[in-house]
Structure 1
Amino acid sequence: MKIFTASQIYDADKFTISKQQIKSDDLMERAATALFNWIHSRLNGAQVNIKLFCGIGNNGGDGIALARLLQEHGYSISVFVVNYSEKRSKDFLINLDRLKDRKLWPEFLDSDCSFPDINQNDIIVDAIFGIGLNRKLDDWVGNLIKHINVSNAFVLSVDIPSGLPMDSNPSDSSYVIRASHVLSFQVPKLIFFLPETGIYQNQWEVLDIGLDPEYLNSTNTEYQLIGKNEILPLYRPRLKFSHKGNYGHAVIIGGSYGKIGAVQLACSACLSVGSGLVTAYVPECGYNALQTALPEAMVLTDDEDDSITKINVPFVPSVYGIGMGMGTEEKTIKAFGTFLKNVESPLVIDADGLNILAKHPSLLKDVPKGSVLTPHPKELQRLIGEWEDDFDKLNKAKDFSVKNNCILVIKGAHSIVIHAEKGYINNTGNPGMATAGSGDVLTGMITGLISQGYSPLNAAIFGVYLHGMAGDVGVMDFGYEALKATEIINNIGKAYIELLRPPKPENVKEV
C-alpha cells in the first residue's frame, strides 16, 4: 500500500473532484459517511454520549458532516467548534449551515471559554486539525488537547491525531491528541510508523473514500507499507521436482568465545526459511556446540579457538551472512577487511560486521554492491551519524544507501527497508520480539532467502515481513515477555502457512 505525502493527498483530492465531476463538499460527504459507517457498525445505535471537537478547516468540516449523520440516526451528540482562526474553509461553512438547518447548534470555543466537561465513558471525535497543520498551536488550543487527553475517554481521531504534523515532530508533545483509534482516509500516513510520532495513536485503520484509482495507481511514492498483498507476489513456491541444490548454499560467519549462540540462531533461521544447505564458519570453540545443537548445518572453523582471525571458505556459496557475535578485535577486523576485498557472493552484514564498518568506514568501498545491512538503532547511528528526528534519520539512511549502493534494514517496531530513495515499511511483528537473538534470526532469514534466489531487496522485504509474522504467531502461545528468539525460528513454518491462508470476510453495516 502506497504512503502518500500531504501534498500528494491534496493532489489526489483535486484529481478525483475533476475526473469524477463532483464538488469538494461531495468528497467531504463521502468521508463523513465512511466515518459514520465505521462508528455505526460498532455502536449499533447504543446510547452513549459522543462529543465532537471540530476545527474550522476541512478536517473540522468532516467532523461537522459526521455530526449531522449521527444526529439523523438518533445518537446523543454534542458539537464543539474550536475557533482558532478567523479563516474558515468553504466546505466547513457549507456543512455548518447544513447542521444548523437541522436545529443543531454547535458551541464555539475560543481562548476565553471554559472547556466542556468530559466523562471517561464519553466517546470523543477529534476533528480539530488534519494533515495541513504547519504551525505551532495557540496555547489555549494546546490546553484543550491536554484536557481531552487527561479525560481517559475513548478518542477517535479523524485522519490523524490533531496537533501532529505530517513531516516533522511536534514542537510540544503535550499539544498532540493521544488517540485511541485513528481512521485515516484512503491511505495510512508515514507518521503512524515512526517511533517518535507513532506513539500518538494506539491503533489506526484506513477508510476508503473513493479517491480516484488512476491517481493512486500512477503516482510514485517514497514509502510503501508492506502487508500480505505486497508480499504474496514476491513469494517463490517450491517446485515438485527439486532438490536441496536448487535452494542454494548459505554460509554464516561469526561467533567468538561465549557468543556462538548468535551463529546457531542465524543458521537455524537460515535453514528454517528454506536454504538448501547451510555452513557455519566459527572459531574452534564453537565446533562442538554447533555440531550438537544443529545437526542439519555443516561447520567450518578458524584455526583460532576463541575468535575469527581469518576467513577461508573453500567454495563459493550462494550468499554469506556475517557479523553476529563476531567481536571487534584487531585480528577479526583484519580478517573481515581481507574477506571484503575477495568476496564474490551476495552479502548480509549484521552486528559486529556493522560495528567494524562504522569504526573503519574506509572498508565500505569494498562491500559488494547491493549488500544488505541490518542495523539496530545504535548500530545505525554509528553508521550514518546522529539525527535530529525520525525524518532526518530516514533522509540520512537514504543518503547512505545511495552513496554505498546498499540496502539498509532499519530494525524497529515497524522495520523499514531502505533502498536508494525508497522505503518499505513492515507491518508485522510485536513487542515480544524485542529480545536477545531476534536480530540474528532476521539475518539468517534474509540470508536464507537470498540463497534460494530471491534478490537482495526482495529477500530483505520478505524476510522482515516473515520474521514479524513468525513473532506474531509465536506470541499467541508465549505472550510478549516469554517469546524467545528460538520460538521465532520455530514459527517460521507457521508464518509461511499464514501467508497463504485466505483472508477472513468482513461484515460491515452501511447506511
Structure 2
Amino acid sequence: MKIFSKEQIYKGDQVTAKKQNISSTELMERAGMQIFNWIHQRMQGAQVPIHVFCGIGNNGGDGLVVARHLNIYGYNVHTYVVNCSDKRTEGFLVNYDLIKQTTKKWPVMLSCEADFPAIGPDDIIVDAVFGIGLNRPPNDWVKRLFQHFRASKAFTLAIDLPSGLYADRVPEDENGVVWADYTLSFQSPKLVFFLPQTSKYTVQWEVLNIGIDPEFLQNTDTEVELMGKMEMLPIYQPREKFSNKGTFGHALIIGGSYGKIGAVMLSGRAALASGVGLVTTFTPKCGYIPLQSAFPEAMAITDIDDENITTIKFDIEPTAIAVGMGMGTDKNTHLALQEFLKVNTAPLVIDADALNIVSKHKSDLKLLKPQTILTPHPKELERLIGTWKDDFDKLKKAKAFSKKYKCILVIKGAHTITVFESKFYVNSTGNPGLATAGTGDVLTGIITGLICQGYEPLIAAVFGVYLHGKSADIAVEDYGYQSLTASHVIDYLGRAYLSLFEKPPMPQPTDEAEEGKR
C-alpha cells in the first residue's frame, strides 16, 4: 500500500475534484460521510454522548459534516468549534452554515479554557481540530484542551490524523497532541503511524476510501510503501514439480565464537526453514561438535582457530552468504572479515558483530558490493550512520547511507523499515514477542535463504522481514509475548508461508438474516 506524502495528498484532492467535476466541498462531504458511516455502523443509534471538536480549517469542515449527519440520525451529539484563529477555510464556512440549517443545536464556540465542556469517561470524542496541514504548534489553551481530552479517559476518534501531530515531523511537545484511541485516515495511512516517536499518538488506525482518482493513486510513485499480504503475494515464487535441493541454492552462514555458536545455528536453521536447498556453516573449531550434533541438516566448515574466526576460507560456491552472528570483534576476526570482503562476489547479508566491525572501520564499507544487505538494530544503526535528532532525521540519514554505499538497510524495530536508495518499505507484521535473543539471527537466515532461492536482494529483504514478523504473529497465539523464542519463529515459518494463501473467514449470518431465510 502506498503511503502518500502531505503534498501528494493535496495534489490527489485537486486532481480528483477536477477529473470528477466536483468541488472541494463536495469531496469534503464524501469524506465526512465515510466517517459518519463508520461510526453509525458500530453505534447503531446508541445514545452515548458524542463530542465533535472541529477546527476552522478543512479538517474542521470534515468534522462538521460528521456532526451534521449524527444530528440528522438522532445521535446525542455535541459540536464545538475550536476558535483558534481568525482565518476560516471555505469548506469550514460552507459546512458551518449547513449544520446551523439542519439542527437547533448550533456548534459551541471555544475560545479559552473556561469554555471546555465536561466529558465523561464513557463518552466519545471525535477529534477534527487540525489535519495534515498543521505547520506550527497549537496555542497554549488548545494544548490544554487536548490534555482535557486525555484526562477525561473518553474514547477518542481522530479524523485523518490526531490533532497536533504533523505529517512530516516529530512534535516538540507531546502535550500538544491528541492521543487517539483510533484514527480514520483518508485513502492511505500516514508514515507517522509507524515511527517509534509518533506511533504512540494513535493506538489503532484504519484507512477509509474517499474516492480519490484511481489513476492518480496508481500512477503516483511514493517514497514510502506499507508491505502487507497483498504486496507479498506477487513476490512469492512457487516451486516447480521437478526441482531439487540444488534448485534452491546453497547458503553459507559465517559467524560464531566461543560460547556464541547458537547464533549461527539459529541463522542456519532459519535459512533452511525459509526454503534454501543446502546450508553450510563456517565457525571456529569450537562450533563443529555443537553444529554437527544439534543441526544435522547442515554441513560444517571450521577455522583453524578454536575460539574465534581468524581466516575465512572455504571450497564451496555459495549462492548467498550471511556473516556476523555471534562472531565477536577480535582484531584477527576484523582482519579476516576485511580480507573476505575484498574477494567476495556472492550476495551478502551482514549482521551483528560484522556490523559492529565495519562501523568501527568505515573504510571497510567501501568493500561492499552493490545491494549488500545490512540488518542493524537501533544501536548498530547509530554506529553506522551516527546519532539522529528524531525519527525523520534517522530516515534521512539512513537514505543517504544507502545511496552512498549502494546498500540495503533493514532497520529493525516494531515496524521494521527496509531502506534502499530513495525508497522506504514499512513492514506490517511482527509483535513485542520478537524482543528476545536470537530473533535477529533468525531474520538474517531467512533473508539469506530467500536470496539463495532466486529472490533479488531487495525483494528478499522485504519478504524476509514480512515472513519473520508473520511467523511471530502466528506463534504468539500459542506462546504469548513473554514466552516466544527465536526457535518458535523458525518453527512457525511454514505456517507464515501458508498464511499467504488463506482466505479470510466468511462472515457469519446474523440472527436477522437467518430469520429472513425462514
The aligned counterpart of 2:408 is 407
Asked whether 1:140 is paired with 2:141, we answer yes
Q: Deviations over 1:396-445 (max 9, x none)?
A: 10110010010000000000010000010000001111111110000000
Q: Deviations over 1:214-246 (max 9, x none)?
A: 111111110001011111111001111110000
Contact 2:250 2:280 in 1 (8 A): yes
Give 1:376's aligned residue.
377
Query: In structure 2, what is the equivalent of residue 41 of structure 1?
Result: 41
Aligned partner of 2:431 in structure 1 is: 430
Distance in 1 (alpha carbons) for counterparts of 2:301 and 2:101: 81
Quote how far apart the aligned CAs of 1:504 are. 4.0
Superposed CA deviations along residues 297-340 of structure 1, whole A, max 9, x for unmatched, are 11111111111011111122100000010000000000000000
Aligned counterparts of 2:185 and 2:149: Cα–Cα separation in 1: 20
Counterpart-to-counterpart distance in 2, 1:226 and 1:445 = 17
CA contact (8 A) 1:284 1:306 kept: yes
Match of 2:513 in 1: none
What are the Cα deviations for residues 362-414 of structure 1, in whole angstroms up to 9, with x where unaligned?
11111111100000000000000111111110011011001001000000000
SS in 1 for 2:425: strand
Deviation, 1:113, is 3.0
**Alpha-carbon separation, structure 2, partners of 1:505 and 1:224:** 29
SS, match of residue 501 in structure 1: coil
**Amino acid of the structure 2 residue aligned with 1:329:** D
Distance in 1, Cα, partners of 2:319 & 2:65: 59
Name the SS for the 1:251 alignment partner: strand
How many Å apart are 1:83 and its aligned residue?
Answer: 0.4
Q: How does 1:100-119 map to 2 (within 5 A)?
A: 100-102=100-102, 103-111=104-112, 113-119=114-120
The answer to whether residue 389 in structure 2 is matched with residue 398 in structure 1 is: no
Contact 2:378 2:412 in 1 (8 A): yes
In the TM superposition, 1:34-433 aligns within 5 A as: 34-102=34-102, 103-111=104-112, 113-433=114-434
Distance between the aligned counterparts of 1:507 and 1:388, measured in 2?
50
Residue equivalent to 1:466: 467
* Amino acid aligned to 2:212: L
In 2, the alpha carbon distance for the partners of 1:90 and 1:490 equals 58
SS of equivalent residue, structure 1 residue 387: coil
CA change 1:135–1:505 in 2 (3 A) is farther
Q: Spell out, residue by residue over 1:239-291, the C-alpha distance to the aligned partner (whole angstroms, 9 max, x if none).
A: 11110000000000000111111111100000000000000101111111111
**Structure 2 Cα separation of the partners of residues 478 and 259 of structure 1:** 25
Return the offset for 1:507: 9.3
Residue pair 2:113, 2:144 contacting (<8 A) in 1 also: no
Query: Structure 2: how far apart are the matches of 1:12 and 1:107?
Result: 33
Conserved 8 A contact 2:284-2:309: yes
Would you say the 8 A contact 1:321–1:447 is kept in 2? yes
Structure 2 Cα separation of the partners of residues 508 and 385 of structure 1 = 56
For residues 393 and 206 of structure 1, the distance between their equivalents in structure 2, rounded to whole angstroms, comes to 26
Unaligned runs of 5+ in 2: 511-518
Output the CA distance in 1 between the equivalents of 2:82 and 2:473.
Answer: 41
* Cα separation, partners in 2 of 1:150 and 1:61, compared to 1, 3 Å: same
Is the Cα contact below 8 Å between 2:161 and 2:184 reproduced in 1? yes
Do the aligned residues in 2 keep the contact of 1:337 with 1:363 (CA within 8 Å)? yes
The 8 Å contact of residues 41 and 508 in structure 1, kept in 2 or not, is answered as: no
1:23 Cα offset (Å): 1.1
Unaligned runs of at least 5 residues, structure 1? none
Distance of 1:502 and 1:38 partners within structure 2 = 24
Q: How far apart are 1:455 and its partner, in Å?
A: 0.4
Tell me, yes or no, if the aligned pair for 2:270 and 2:445 is still in contact at 8 Å: yes
C-alpha deviation, 1:73, in angstroms: 1.3
Tell me what 1:449 maps to: 450
Question: How far apart, CA to CA, are the structure 2 residues paired with 1:407 and 1:101?
Answer: 57
Q: Quick check: 2:430–2:473 contact (8 Å CA) kept in 1? A: yes
Question: CA offset at residue 506 of structure 1?
Answer: 6.7
Q: How far did residue 111 of structure 1 move?
A: 2.3
Q: Give the match for residue 17 of structure 1.
A: 17
TM-score, structure 1 normalization: 0.98
Matched residue type, 2:49: N
Aligned to 2:515: none
Kindly indicate whether the alpha-carbon contact (under 8 Å) linking 1:316 and 1:344 is maintained by their aligned counterparts in 2.
Answer: no
What letter is aligned with 1:57? G
CA distance in 2, matches of 1:108, 1:47: 23
SS in structure 2 opposite 1:418?
Answer: strand
In the alignment, is the contact (CA less than 8 A) between 2:303 and 2:309 conserved in 1? yes
Is contact 1:162–1:176 with CA below 8 Å preserved after alignment? Answer: yes
Measure how far apart 1:114 and its partner are: 3.1
> Following the alignment from structure 1 to structure 2, what is the Cα–Cα distance between the partners of residues 167 and 23?
27
Amino acid of the structure 2 residue aligned with 1:485 = A
CA distance in 2, matches of 1:317, 1:431: 34
Letter in 2 for 1:378: K
Partner SS for 1:86: coil
Q: Please say if residues 407 and 457 of structure 1, whose CA atoms lie closer than 8 Å, have aligned partners that are also in contact.
A: yes
Give, in whole Å, the separation in 2 of the partners of 1:451 and 1:295: 20
Please give the secondary structure, in 1, of the residue aligned with 2:80: strand
- Matched AA of 2:304: D
Structure-2-length-normalised TM-score: 0.97
Distance 1:33 1:496 in 2: 38
Whole-angstrom CA distance in 2 between matches of 1:507 and 1:313:
58
CA distance in 1, matches of 2:314, 2:92: 69
SS of the residue aligned with 1:400? Answer: helix
Runs of 4+ in 1 over 6 A off after TM superposition: 506-509
1:118 and 1:506 map into 2 onto residues whose CA distance is: 36
CA contact (8 A) 2:137 2:176 kept: no
Instruction: Work out the CA distance in 1 between the residues paired with 2:509 and 2:235.
Output: 31
